[in-house]
Homo-oligomer: A and B are copies of this chain.
């Protein structure tokens, strides 16, 4: 998606350790018009699929997800990062290791908000190792639903998470696909 790639080049910042900061328009300060355009592109990419529900993970996936849900006309659920290990039988739970923070979060969704037989689209801001999408997929599968695909804003293709999920049969669509980030800047696929 040209609009997003241009914005990454103009406003993104590369930090040491392979971190791409896009918090001026995507995940701290957010540009609603850009995010709406991204949500419409997600709708176009999954136009041929029945989507009953959008599932994302707090906090930075929520804005794109609610705008995507508006396009699909379906409910949006965000998985919560749980501070407790109290795995109540009212929750679906999964473990999600964080590349950025070097820890592991337990993410949870109430059993009331994922159901058998539903088609669920996963939405998130970043795809690197794929750990978040793997965790969200586990939640959907625990509920007996079907993941119809994943839509992410920015994929770090060189980290292989997206390609591994595709090899497993998941339809993964990324609005900006980064082939390389180094001293020479950012190269898109």
Interface residues of A (CB under 8 A from B): 23-24, 28-33, 35-36, 58-59, 62-63, 66-67, 69-70, 73-78, 80, 109-110, 112-113
Contact = CB atoms under 8 A, between A and B. Distances in A.
A113 B24 contact: yes
Contact of A66 (B32, B73, B113): B32
A51 to B, nearest CB: 12
| Most interface-central of A31, A62, A78 (chain B CB within 10 A) | A62
B67 A30 contact: no
Contacts of A75: 29-32
18 contacts: A23-B113, A28-B77, A28-B113, A30-B69, A30-B77, A32-B66, A32-B67, A32-B70, A32-B74, A32-B75, A35-B66, A58-B58, A58-B59, A59-B62, A59-B80, A62-B66, A63-B66, A63-B76
How many copies of this chain does one complex carry? Answer: 2
Given A28-B109, A63-B66, 9 more contacts: A23-B113, A28-B113, A29-B76, A29-B77, A30-B76, A32-B75, A32-B76, A62-B62, A63-B63
A112 B21 CA distance: 13
Contacts of A77: 28-30
A33 B73 CA distance: 7
A44 to B, nearest CB: 17
Interface of A: prevailing SS: mixed
A113 B33 CA distance: 17
